[in-house]
Structure 1
Amino acid sequence: MAPVKKGRNRRLRLWLALGAGFLGLLCLGGVGVAVLLYDEETKIERADPDQVTSSFLRAYLVSRSDDEAALYSCKEGARLDEIAALRAEMINREQNFGTTVTAVWEALVVSGTSGASTSVNVDLVITGSKGGQQVSSRTEPWTFGLVDEQGWRVCSAAKNG
């Protein structure tokens, strides 16, 4: 009787090994799908100049993150001194007057597309508030120059007028 029991144990181990291998493959496949979905969801879109400009403004003026803004700006030769001055002014007003200064944008208009470059005109609305009450607001027209470097990137920013 002992030889029959050995044969059953071998078959049982074989089935367990096959089941564990199959389960391992399913897990690896699930991890692969999860990585692909995550990659697709976190992909940086640079296909539309107006969307890139909006993303740059959100990163630079709202989040105030140079690292995040760098994802949407030129790799070399960017002329962003004027927008940097605006952000510095916003930060100084917050520190000096105890206010919260925010920027929103409206009327993003793409114009002047020529090959690998274009411009986007934007109205920036700069608002100061204190204690939940608006204390100041102004609208400034800006032009952002973009270049197609494997996707659009902001290379210049200038206040109009």
Structure 2
Amino acid sequence: MASVLVAGGAALGEGPGGAQDGPETVLRAYVQATLSTNDSAAAATVTCREPNLTSMQDWQLDLSQRRQRFALPALAADVTSYQSVATGRRVNATADVAVTLMTNGQPQERVTRPFRFTLVSENGWKVCGAAPTE
């Protein structure tokens, strides 16, 4: 299996998704942990106490099932076109989530979906909500 971007494994305050990181970095860490690596422990470190992330979790499940059923190659996920508005301890953001099929480390096919995200400050920024915008 090819290498993919990895955002998991960092302790709070270290690396992507740490306690000192801004909302965009935390969102990238969440998306990569959820869609690229299926690392629920890493995703949990950047998720708020009471999240509403069903749409991302459903997409992750769909991607996992397709990868198994069709023997698809590795996935790399990223956030593009990030825009946000901060209001105190809350950030409302829009971004495109791009998932790229990888074979031998080379991109093969890319799917992009627009999402609306909510991030809150809970001992560092945490992803709290996600919903597709189309």
Fold agreement, TM-score > 0.5: yes
Structure 2 unmatched runs, 5+: 1-10
Aligned to 2:24: 50
Q: Amino acid of the residue matched to residue 61 of structure 1?
A: L
Q: Is 2:67 the partner of 1:102?
A: no
Aligned to 2:114: 141
Q: Amino acid of the residue matched to residue 144 of structure 1?
A: F
| Bigger strand fraction | 2
Bigger Rg, structure 1 or 2: 1
Aligned to 1:15: none
What is the RMSD computed on CA atoms of the aligned residues?
2.6
Structure 1 counterpart of 2:36, from 48, 62, 65: 62
TM-score normalised by the chain length of structure 2: 0.76
Where relative contact order (Cα < 8 A, 6+ residues apart) is larger, the structure is 2
Measured after TM superposition, the shift of residue 56 of structure 1 is 1.1
TM-score normalised by the chain length of structure 1: 0.64
Q: Amino acid of the residue matched to residue 63 of structure 2?
A: M
The Cα offsets for residues 65-124 of structure 1, whole Å up to 9 and x where unpaired, read as 11111110002x200100001100111111111112524224352422111111222212
Counterparts of 1:79 and 1:140, CA distance in 2:
18
* Contact in 2 for aligned 1:101/1:126 (Cα 8 Å): no
Kindly report which structure 2 residues correspond to 1:1-161, keeping only aligned pairs within 5 A, or say none.
42=14, 44-75=18-49, 77-128=50-101, 134=108, 136-161=109-134
Q: Percent identity?
A: 24
Counterparts of 1:69 and 1:155, CA distance in 2:
11
Deviates more, 1:105-114 or 1:62-71: 105-114
* Contact in 1 for aligned 2:77/2:97 (Cα 8 Å): yes
Counterparts of 1:101 and 1:121, CA distance in 2:
26
Matched residues, number: 121
Report the 3-state secondary structure (helix = DSSP H, G, I; strand = E; otherwise coil) of the residue aligned with 2:113. Answer: strand
